[in-house]
Structure 1
Amino acid sequence: MGRTSDTPLHTALRTPEFWRCYALDGTDGFDVDATGERLAEEIGEPNLDLPVRPDWFLRLSLCFEVNLHTLYLCDLDPDEDYEDYEDDDEDVPVDSQLELGHWDQARWHPFCLRWEELEAVVRRMRAEPDRQQVSPEQAMLLLARWVGHGADEQDLLVARRRSVAGALERPGLFHGDDAARMAAGLLVAVSEDDYAWRWDAEKGWTFGGDYGCYSNRNDGHDFPFAEFAEFRQMLGVADEPASVR
């Protein structure tokens, strides 16, 4: 049983203010901090499991009080009886919870997903939509925030922003230029011009450049490469790029 009740979080997800705050969009004097404090009072600090809840899944921890959001990779505890939990329960115990990245307004390390990984999570959610804590479309928007694009992927970034803008327009959240602005705020370009995705035979895909601090998914950080490879395998994402197969 997934989205069975209209919780304060689900109400917030249907408002432009939620997405503007999530994207740290201060355009036109929008007060991100005050809105975040109000959202925190309304929804608390929820965890969203995406998808619910195979052997490996992403857990998005939202903390609007200080606008600090963290994405984790989790796996199930083999000693836990999950029959006691509903699909929409928060804070379900896990065996491990490994940080992939975080967003805040200071020292952020967000870029930890590839676009095909986002797409694979959404496909998994579409296969069992009634079990999910949020809709697959909302999950796509939430996870877009964590996708990195290299400096050599500008055409892909433009095309994917159009997809994100369409997902914002369909439920009536934003329209036209506002939807395009928000899509750029959710699917952010890395400011360094040497950032790129690179395939490593041992670690898999890494993301970084000379200044490695915009992503944990590189040699400069403690990214859970082995566990993430298991997650990709569960999702059915290819283990290596076609050029080396």
Structure 2
Amino acid sequence: MDLPLHDPLFWARYTFAYEDEDRIGELADQIDGSPDLDDDDEDIEGVEVVFDVGGGCRLILDVALELDSHSLELIVPGLTKPAELGWDDTAQWHPHALRWSELDLICRAVDPEPGPALALLCRFAAVFEDDDVDAAAAAVDAAYASLRPEGWTGYWPSAAEWLERNDLRGQAVTWHTDGQGRHWARQKDWNQEKDFYSIRQGPDRFPHDELRTLLEAARR
């Protein structure tokens, strides 16, 4: 995996924690601010990380630290090109692509123990009223801890930080399903403490069938 997963600077940038200098402490002096974007941005390529779920199904994470932009796609048999699940950036983010139970299933298929997959992908999963949030937080903390350099006492990501953005309990988000096994959610109103930012808000646009194929592969 071509990412510096044991480097605090990487995580401060990847999680956008660098925007809060008090949070990252001494690392603030080592991180440049948000990049000045121009017409050459399209030439900047991210680092692509592939997670093999099995059965020809894969998640593809594109990490572009220079752009503060990260996207998640999937590929399953029959697709000619990857389908987008969501993206996270500092402008028009739509990271809420997966439910916690789905991410947990996928990551266990990639690696039975919490590790890099969960640490990198948890930003694309939210928790809701029917989730065991304590268990989810423990797994995310274990994933981050598995990568933390021995003896490092400075900034390091945590489940508490993840939940600040992705705990959508009590935010008027309701899940729906149809007779074809597609699951999506809608927020009843936008006057909530946290917004549900997702392309998974109806039976169209989101790759429901492809995600179901990937989840079935993860269960095998």
Aligned-pair CA distance for 1:116: 2.5
Single out whichever of 170-179 and 157-166 deviates more from structure 2.
170-179
Partner of 2:186: 208
Taking structure 1 as reference, are residues 201 and 61 closer, same or farther at Cα in structure 2, changes over 3 Å only?
same
Partner of 1:45: 46
Q: Secondary structure at the match of 2:75?
A: strand
Partner of 2:99: 114
Q: Deviations over 1:96-152 (max 9, x none)?
A: 21110000112111111122222222222237xxxxxxx9610011111111222x2
User: Would you say the 8 A contact 2:12–2:155 is kept in 1?
Assistant: no
Q: Secondary structure at the match of 2:92?
A: coil
Taking structure 1 as reference, are residues 216 and 175 closer, same or farther at Cα in structure 2, changes over 3 Å only?
farther
Taking structure 1 as reference, are residues 58 and 198 closer, same or farther at Cα in structure 2, changes over 3 Å only?
same
Aligned-pair CA distance for 1:58: 0.8
Q: Give ranges in structure 1 of 5+ residues lacking alignment.
A: 4-8, 38-43, 78-93, 128-134, 238-245
Taking structure 1 as reference, are residues 178 and 16 closer, same or farther at Cα in structure 2, changes over 3 Å only?
closer
Q: Secondary structure at the match of 2:136?
A: helix
Partner of 1:235: 218
Partner of 2:32: 34
Partner of 1:13: 5
User: Would you say the 8 A contact 1:51–1:121 is kept in 2?
Assistant: no
More helix by percentage: 1
User: Would you say the 8 A contact 1:208–1:215 is kept in 2?
Assistant: no
Write the distance in 2 (CA, Å) between the matches of 1:15 and 1:70: 21
User: Would you say the 8 A contact 2:76–2:210 is kept in 1?
Assistant: no
Aligned-pair CA distance for 1:33: 7.0
Q: Give ranges in structure 2 of 5+ residues lacking alignment.
A: 36-44
How many residues matched? 198
Partner of 1:73: 74
CA RMSD of aligned residues (A): 3.5
TM-score (norm 2): 0.73
User: Would you say the 8 A contact 2:96–2:126 is kept in 1?
Assistant: yes
Within 5 Å, which residues of 2 pair with 1:211-222? 211=190, 214-219=197-202, 222=205
| Residues 1:62 and 2:45 aligned together | no
Percent identity, aligned pairs only, is 23
Q: Secondary structure at the match of 2:82?
A: strand
| Residues 1:123 and 2:124 aligned together | no
Q: Secondary structure at the match of 1:58?
A: strand
Write the distance in 2 (CA, Å) between the matches of 1:228 and 1:167: 23
Write the distance in 2 (CA, Å) between the matches of 1:166 and 1:176: 16
Amino acid at match of 1:74: I
Single out whichever of 140-149 and 117-126 deviates more from structure 2.
117-126
Write the distance in 1 (CA, Å) between the matches of 2:169 and 2:16: 16
TM-score (norm 1): 0.66
User: Would you say the 8 A contact 1:149–1:196 is kept in 2?
Assistant: no
Write the distance in 2 (CA, Å) between the matches of 1:199 and 1:219: 9
* 1:193 aligned residue (167, 171, 189): 171
